[in-house]
Structure 1
Amino acid sequence: MAQNRTRWIPDTYIIIFFVVLFAALLTWTVPVGKFETHEITYTMGSSEKSRSVLVPESFQYELGKDGKPVMNGVKLFEPYGETGILNYAFEGLVSGDKWGSAVGVVAFILIVGGAFGIVLRTGAIESGMKRMIKKTKGMDTLIIPVLFFLFSLGGAVFGMGEEAIPFVFIVVPVVIALGYDSIVAVMITYCATQIGFGASWMNPFSVAIAQGIAQIPVLSGSGFRIFMWFFFTLLGTLYTWRYAVKIRKNPSLSPVRESDNYFREELEAAGETDERFGLGDILVILTIALGMVWTIWGVVEKGYYIPEIASQFFVMGLVSGIIGVIFKLNGMKVNDIAVSFRAGASDLLGAAIVVGMAKGIILVLGGDSPTEPTVLNTVLHNVGLMISGLSPVISAWLMYLFQSVFNFFVVSGSGQAALTMPLMAPLADIAGVTRQVAVLAFQLGDGFTNLIVPTSAVMMASIGAARIDWATWAKWQIKFQGILFLCGSLFVIAAVVVGFN
């Protein structure tokens, strides 16, 4: 009977391939267009920032020799480094630079995975975890609200995202040892950061940039947003806690029970470390803690990003390996540092490849540059025209809906702000909606769908660290997405009604 209920779930690679085919179809049916851009400056704190943004009224279709709009239908295969349907995987993987998607993020994922392969090989985390569980018996349920709050705060204050990936490695075995599953671990780490990111009152990578582009005071409207952040953080905490309690009572209900067996076997294999918690273990855990502090300091104070953070975690893994060898933790030898680094990187190889494939979707559509003739620019322009003729409430809600969908193609908060806010801000004036509401629609749409879209490199890396397949994750996450979208819609509508400014 159970077999009859089992439904085939397509692999993530299969899903992306069909999305590529759909994107290719769009290139044959939607004409391409482009915008002009100009530099704007805005003040954030005591410093002046500048950014290149599109000029809304400058949109024009690419015209052919006959004077009609051109459709750049992508071919099946393109030589000489161009992007065709069958080129999407390679071209996606090698696109971009070390500062972002895809090649930089792929390298980041592999380096962080390798570093934590070394850390986990020492067995120090398992030893410290078991000691912690013994010391906090009866209080272990607090891990969910406490961590959810802290990670959400990190997302709200300094735009925490990539920094959450290493924490997934640490938290997954802890929550599984407590009787929960890896979904709970991803929810209280990465998902919490994105809820904070989306509902933030001061996120420098979304709210601050969007407000600067919209030409309203940067970090204004904080009272409304702080209340919103508290609401969504509480909502996420309660949703996660309710699910976690259900799984603890009946583990068979977990959709990731089979993949979580990997972590259970690791915990069982580390059974002999029950009573082991010596100086070597303490030094490894101290190295991890100092590494996290170094990373957060670098992001907040120095503006460190992917290259620096990857190197910081490489150092953390290397130092942990050296400590493991010196103190012979789990019988470690010098070669085990290399072997465990390779094994840790290979565990995230699937997630890294997905990042490249997902970027291939954007390349098939022509890219996301506002000054190049692409399908995305045409879609952006036409959505703007549609929104401008509707009532304020409907216009604001459609802005939120559009930003949520557009986030599939441009998951970078600052990138999406540069593309959409120059268009949405003046449209808000026409529709009778304040620009503050337009920014609100942007930040909620940009933040929340990062929890499910396969084009989000950080999300794919986070669930990859938890060994969760995207199709399984999406099936579980879709209900939560519905709740977030409903509540986000209510906040956008309420903001219009109260004249949020």
Structure 2
Amino acid sequence: MHSQTNQESSVVATSFTRWQMPDTLVIIFFVALAAMALTYLVPVGSFDTQEIVYLNDGVEKTRNVVDPHSFQYQVDVSGNAVMQPVALFEGGGGVGFFNFAFEGLASGSKWGTAIGVIMFMLVIGGAFGIVMETGTIDNGILRLIDKTQGNENLFIPALFTLFSLGGAVFGMGEEAIAFAIIICPLMIRLGFDGITTVMVTYVATQIGFASSWMNPFSVAIAQGIAGVPVLSGAGVRGLMWAGFTLMGIIFTMRYGAKIRATPSLSYSYHSDKYFRDHQSHASLDSRFNWGDILVLSSILVTVVWVIWGVVANGWFIPEIASQFFTMGIAVGAIAVMFGLNDMTVNRVASSFKQGAATMLEPAILVGCASGILILLGGGDPTSPSVLNTLLSGAGSIIGQLPAALSAWFMLLFQSVFNFFVTSGSGQAALTMPLMAPLADIVGVSRQVAVLAFQLGDGFTNVLVPTSASLMATLGVCRVDWAIWLKFIWRFMLGLFVVSSLLVIAAHYLGFV
């Protein structure tokens, strides 16, 4: 009997270890299946829109928003609510369940979802593919490490700020894995530990990712989907990024100082033994010449130029993509002229293609998620659809709450949802088409809805075990996730409390 119990326990344990969180595309597929089922259960309805007037930087502007009190069901001649069930397949350009992927990928225009956002992602990915291929980013970090030796008090803030900038400017995340491999032995040599390495690399990128003023794979996509001018609110988000980055630096420095004073207090003290026993004596000398300086200058100039264009000339997705494409060409030319990483014209072209290829996965997610919106009848509030009926129902529930509490629930929802879909662009594509019009209904600005999205999506990446980048970074630093959870929960709680206060404050201060 006892032996049988052990065998049963073994089978359960084996089944548990073999279970994996479904891929984002699998989740989207089943959400699409559920969307189709809803069309057989939920009648269609529509809203009227109304024009509102608001001030933006002292300028009076107008905008069409949903009138939350205008919802009405579509009815037949007998006065019964009408349903529009979706078939498995529709010919002649119609929309069926098995059409949703193509229809979603082909929907929209160059000004927004989905095709415009997808092309934007491919061009941006290609441009930064060239930047990464030059090796300038890698060598810059190694040079920074070299310069801070002997003055370790600057080591953590310098690295944390640099990686946070990477997350904010171009969505750095997976790249932290490679840097953690290099940095972890050095951190331990300086008296820190593996957990400190995860903080200054991967966690820093996610701090930047979540609080970014311009992240093209999170904020820009969410704003484009929500119909908010891309990169608007950059001033507020810039201050927010500085505050959260400082918060991360202080937390990491306090922990690092405690570990240097008493190494045995380290959460990863036992696993760090591997690195202590295999101390690396590799040289930190790295290439950093005028070519690298010009590459970094090109990135900085492009960022400033794009921000100016958005603020002064109202640039949108096509113009912003064109500026980053120009940056990629300029960086490629500099790399060839200065022989950075032995770059040739052909390698510039191949690195652009490889960088764009890394965006194919999130691009497909954006397109397929847009297909779900089409299955539900599209995002036009004035056209009868299942989505409008669902929004009306959600609005009637959430609308009973104070508007500020509704904004906070959006943050909570995005934080929980990120456990299942850790892709920022994928989550934006899934949730923003619902959250943006819902924000109109409950009296929250769409800019606040985007803020709730980016904070909820980004910060939980440092905790959820479904994040491949987090688990990989923990792996190369030899930190078990259970140990990481014991360490990081306090910081996560602090991030969530501050994020909650920011979202509520943004609502009351009229962030639009």
TM-score (norm 2): 0.66
Q: Does 1:141 align with 2:187?
A: no
Aligned to 1:401: 409
Contact 1:33 1:373 in 2 (8 A): yes
Name the CA shift for 1:467/1:300 in 2 (closer, same or farther; >3 Å).
farther
Which residues of 2 match residues 221-236 of structure 1 at below 5 A?
A: none
Deviation, 1:467, is 10
Name the CA shift for 1:348/1:383 in 2 (closer, same or farther; >3 Å).
closer
Percent identity between the aligned chains? 40
Contact 1:147 1:189 in 2 (8 A): no
Aligned to 1:156: none
Contact 2:52 2:64 in 1 (8 A): yes
The match for 1:350 among 357, 361, 364 is: 361
Q: Does 1:286 align with 2:297?
A: yes
Question: Partners of 1:319 and 1:142 in 2: how far apart?
Answer: 30
Question: Partners of 1:481 and 1:361 in 2: how far apart?
Answer: 32
Q: Which amino acid aligns with 2:26?
A: I
Aligned to 2:58: 46
Deviation, 1:376, is 2.2
Q: Which amino acid aligns with 2:211?
A: A
Q: Which amino acid aligns with 1:380?
A: L
Tell me, which stretches of 5 or more residues in structure 1 are unaligned?
152-160, 210-218, 253-270, 426-434, 455-462
Contact 2:49 2:66 in 1 (8 A): yes
Aligned to 2:441: 423
Other structure's SS at 2:61 match: strand
Q: Does 1:383 align with 2:394?
A: yes
Other structure's SS at 1:57 match: coil
Aligned pair count reads: 427
**Pair member with larger Rg:** 2
Which residues of 2 match residues 396-475 of structure 1 at below 5 A?
A: 397=405, 400-401=408-409, 405=413, 416=435, 419-425=437-443, 445-451=452-458
Name the CA shift for 1:277/1:85 in 2 (closer, same or farther; >3 Å).
same
Question: Partners of 1:349 and 1:145 in 2: how far apart?
Answer: 29
Q: Does 1:94 align with 2:106?
A: yes
Deviation, 1:33, is 0.8
Q: Which amino acid aligns with 1:142?
A: P
Aligned to 1:277: 288
Q: Does 1:305 align with 2:316?
A: yes
Q: Deviations over 1:44-84 (max 9, x none)?
A: 22211110112222211011233211121211112233322
Question: Partners of 2:47 and 2:147 in 1: how far apart?
Answer: 60
Greater alpha carbon shift after TM alignment, 186-195 vs 75-84: 186-195
Q: Does 1:178 align with 2:186?
A: no
Name the CA shift for 1:333/1:167 in 2 (closer, same or farther; >3 Å).
same
Aligned to 1:71: 83
Q: Deviations over 1:338-397 (max 9, x none)?
A: 11111111122112111111111211111221111122221222233345667x6xx864
Question: Partners of 2:61 and 2:435 in 1: how far apart?
Answer: 17
Aligned to 2:206: 187
Q: Does 1:339 align with 2:350?
A: yes
Q: Does 1:17 align with 2:29?
A: yes
Name the CA shift for 1:53/1:237 in 2 (closer, same or farther; >3 Å).
farther
Other structure's SS at 2:43 match: coil
Q: Which amino acid aligns with 1:62?
A: Q
The match for 1:364 among 362, 375, 393 is: 375
Name the CA shift for 1:101/1:414 in 2 (closer, same or farther; >3 Å).
closer
TM-score (norm 1): 0.68
Q: Deviations over 1:240-291 (max 9, x none)?
A: 8899998986889xxxxxxxxxxxxxxxxxx999442222222222222222
Contact 1:168 1:189 in 2 (8 A): no
Aligned to 2:326: 315
Question: Partners of 1:411 and 1:332 in 2: how far apart?
Answer: 39
Name the CA shift for 1:345/1:147 in 2 (closer, same or farther; >3 Å).
same
Name the CA shift for 1:309/1:231 in 2 (closer, same or farther; >3 Å).
closer
Question: Partners of 1:326 and 1:72 in 2: how far apart?
Answer: 61
Q: Which amino acid aligns with 1:38?
A: Q
Q: Which amino acid aligns with 2:296?
A: I
